[in-house]
Copies of this chain bind each other. A is one copy, B any other.
Amino acid sequence: MADRPALSRAEMEVARIVWTLREATVRQVLDNLPETRDINYKTVQTFLRRLEAKGYLSSRRDGRSLIYTADARPRQVIRDTVRDFLNRLFNGEPLPLVEHLIRDQGLEKADISQLRALLNEMESQPGSK
């Protein structure tokens, strides 16, 4: 697990899409960004290039295009990113953020029951770490 340089906000946004799709070209990433996100093809291309340089993605050629795939383990990257966010904004404590999400970020009613189920599940199992 090489120690890679940190991801910027925009880089993370792009990397996540590749991870979700499992693999993607510049064009596909562009198409999968939210419509509200106004961004140029070339810009996305730059981010993917940088992500590869930083060791987060690999690329292979397919005809005229490059296909990017995960190199670092996404799960771990997300965990680290969230942890950093937690440290800076919530004193490192997850619960206050959960509370904030529930109270201030419009968690739906349906989500609540799903959450409750998750809590039950957690309780029946010993700390999974």
Residues of A within 8 A of B (CB): 9-10, 12-13, 16, 34, 75, 78-79, 81-89, 92, 94-95, 97-109, 111-112, 114-116, 118-119, 122-123, 127-129
Select one of B10, B102, B105 contacting A86, CB under 8 A.
B105
Contacts of A16 in B (CB 8 A): 88-89
How far is B118's CA from A103's CA once the two chains are assembled, in angstroms? 9
Q: Is the CB of B123 within 8 A of A119?
A: no
What 4 pairs between A and B have smallest CB-CB spacing?
Answer: A13-B88, A94-B105, A94-B101, A95-B111
Could you say how many copies of this chain the assembly holds? 2
Considering the complex, give the chain B residue whose CB is closest to the CB of A77. Answer: B89
A88-B12, A112-B122 are known contacts. Are A83 and B98 too (CB-CB below 8 A)? no
Select one of B10, B104, B119 contacting A79, CB under 8 A.
B104
A112-B119, A112-B123, A122-B112 are known contacts. Are A34 and B92 too (CB-CB below 8 A)? yes
